[in-house]
Amino acid sequence: MTAPTKPPYGGATDSASERAPGEPLHSPVIDWFDEHARDLPWRRPEAGAWGVMVSEFMLQQTPVNRVLPVYEQWLARWPRPADLAAEAPGEAVRAWGRLGYPRRALRLHGAAVAITERHGGDVPADHAQLLALPGIGEYTAAAVASFAYGQRHAVLDTNVRRVFARAVTGTQYPPNATTAAERRLARALLPQDAPTAARWAAASMELGALVCTAKNETCGRCPIAAQCAWRLAGKPAHEGPPRRGQTYAGTDRQVRGRLLAVLREAHGPVPQSALDRVWHEPVQRARALDGLVADGLVEPLQGGLYRLPQT
Contact at 8 Å (CB) between 88 and 307?
no
Q: Is-catalytic flag, 35?
A: no
Which residue type occupies 271? P
CA 168 to chain CA mean position, Å: 22
Residue 76 has pLDDT above 60, yes or no: yes
Separation of alpha carbons 152 and 139, rounded Å? 13
Rounded alpha-carbon distances, angstroms, from residue 247 to 57, 150, 216, 251, 256: 21, 37, 20, 7, 14
> At residue 17, does pLDDT exceed 60?
no
Residue 246's pLDDT band (boundaries 50, 70, 90)?
low
Q: What is the amino acid identity at position 60?
A: Q
Between CA 24 and CA 31, with CA 26 as vertex, the angle to 5 degrees is 120
Q: Please report the DSSP string for 181-193 in residue order.
A: HHHHHHHHHS-SS
Q: What is the pLDDT of residues 257-305, one digit of tens each?
A: 999 999 999 989 999 999 999 999 999 999 999 999 999 999 999 999 9
Rounded-to-integer distance, Cα 155 and Cα 125, Å: 15
How confident is the model over 37-52, as a mean pLDDT? Answer: 97
- What is the rounded distance in angstroms from the CA atom of residue 104 to the CA atom of residue 237? 34
Query: In Å, how far are 101, 224, 257 from 75, measured between CA atoms?
Result: 19, 36, 23
Which of 30, 20, 15, 4 has its CA nearest to residue 202? 30
Options 56, 182, 217, 299, the catalytic residue: 56
CB atoms within 10 A of CB 193: 10
Q: Over the stretch 93-149, which tens digit does the pLDDT of each residue have?
A: 999 998 989 999 999 999 999 999 999 999 999 999 999 999 999 999 999 999 999
Higher pLDDT, residue 280 or 74: 74
Q: Which helix (H) or strand (E) holds 307?
A: strand 305-307
What is the pLDDT confidence band of residue 311, given thresholds at 50, 70 and 90?
confident
Per-residue pLDDT for 2 more than 50? no
Give dist(CA 163, CA 85) in Å, integer. Answer: 37
Q: pTM value?
A: 0.86
Give the pLDDT of residue 247.
76
The strand order across the sheet containing 270-271 reads 270-271, 305-307, 299-301
Q: For 135-187, how does the pLDDT look when each residue is reduced to its tens digit (9 = 90+)? A: 999 999 999 999 999 999 999 999 999 999 999 999 999 998 999 999 999 99
Residue 10's pLDDT is 37
Per-residue pLDDT at 9 exceeds 50: no
Residue-averaged pLDDT of the chain:
91
